[in-house]
Amino acid sequence: MRKEEFIQRLESFGLPKNEYMIRSGGSLLLRGLREETADFDLCVSERLAQNLDLWKYPKDEVGSYIPFKDVQMKANLAKFSFDVIDGYQCETLESVLELKRSLMRSKDIPDIAAITSLQNEKHLYQEEFKDIIRAVLNDGLCGSKLSDTVIQSIKPAEIYESDDRLVTDLYFAIMHFAGGEEHISSAEWLYYLQCMEGKRKHLQRRI
């Protein structure tokens, strides 16, 4: 299933978002590192496991419970750290990579390549852009102060010459926002920050 169907089905389970984490293929799907995944691999809190009476459901060959169709679930959320991607708690790329390298199945090889490629990406003015986004999110930097900050730290000519879609999209988004020509939500700023941090793939200009 592709991302849209994955999210629709996930929402249909009616699970509180802060009580579970999406693992493995689902985490990569939400980060733009996969086009599709076959199932749901979820870690849930002890409280959610109790509410679901998780232990009454059948187990698969690796010991995960199956409370819904195509869902593998374990009550071990406390063991993991996660990133919040589009409002969903997702297993960190480091954790996914560690597991897939330990398994090294044929289906893991493209995922390993996608993760390592993303983590090795370097972007023009990467640290400067991250600092600017954090200042917008945390300090409310906007208007002329934002445009002045950009001018002082980034050379426009280098942006115009760049073929890095993330860099050019982000630069023009910042300048349009600073000039009052465009509204950018906190979710979109966070999206750009996570792209610059190597936590997700930039696919296209977000509206």
In-domain check, residue 168: yes
Q: What is the pTM of this model?
A: 0.89
Compute the average pLDDT of residues 65-93. Answer: 95
In-domain check, residue 205: no
Q: pLDDT tens, 21-59?
A: 999 999 999 999 999 999 999 999 999 999 999 999 999
In-domain check, residue 181: yes
Q: pLDDT tens, 132-163?
A: 999 999 999 999 999 999 999 999 999 999 99
Task: Give the three-class secondary structure for 198.
Answer: coil
157 within 8 A of 125, measured Cβ to Cβ = no
For position 62, what pLDDT does the model report?
85
For position 207, what pLDDT does the model report?
41
Query: What span, in angstroms and rounded, lies between the C-alpha atoms of 12 and 156?
Result: 46
> Which residue type occupies 180?
G
Query: What span, in angstroms and rounded, lies between the C-alpha atoms of 153 and 27?
Result: 34
Number of structural domains the chain divides into: 2
Query: Counting runs of H as helices and runs of E as strands, what totals does the chain give?
Result: 10, 5
| Residues in CB range of 189: below 8 A, 6 or more apart | 133, 136, 137
**Domain boundary residue, one of 67, 87, 120:** 120
For position 74, what pLDDT does the model report?
96
Q: pLDDT tens, 50-66?
A: 999 999 999 998 899 99
Q: pLDDT tens, 165-207?
A: 999 999 999 999 999 999 999 999 999 999 999 999 998 654 4
Residue 7 has pLDDT above 90, yes or no: yes
In-domain check, residue 201: no
Same domain, 152 and 67: no
For position 205, what pLDDT does the model report?
52
Compute the average pLDDT of residues 94-98. Answer: 96
What is the CA angle 199-202-203, rounded to 5?
Answer: 135
Domain assignment of residue 155, given as a range: 126-196
For position 101, what pLDDT does the model report?
97
- b/e 8-25 (16+ beta carbons within 10 angstroms → b): eebeeeebeeebbbbbbb
* Residues belonging to the chain: 207
Same domain, 26 and 112: yes
**Domain boundary residue, one of 120, 147, 173:** 120
Query: What span, in angstroms and rounded, lies between the C-alpha atoms of 47 and 36?
Result: 30
Same domain, 93 and 131: no
Same domain, 20 and 104: yes
**Domain boundary residue, one of 120, 135, 156:** 120
User: For position 70, which CATH number holds?
Assistant: 3.30.460
Measuring CA to CA, which residue among 35, 5, 2, 41 is closest to residue 23?
41
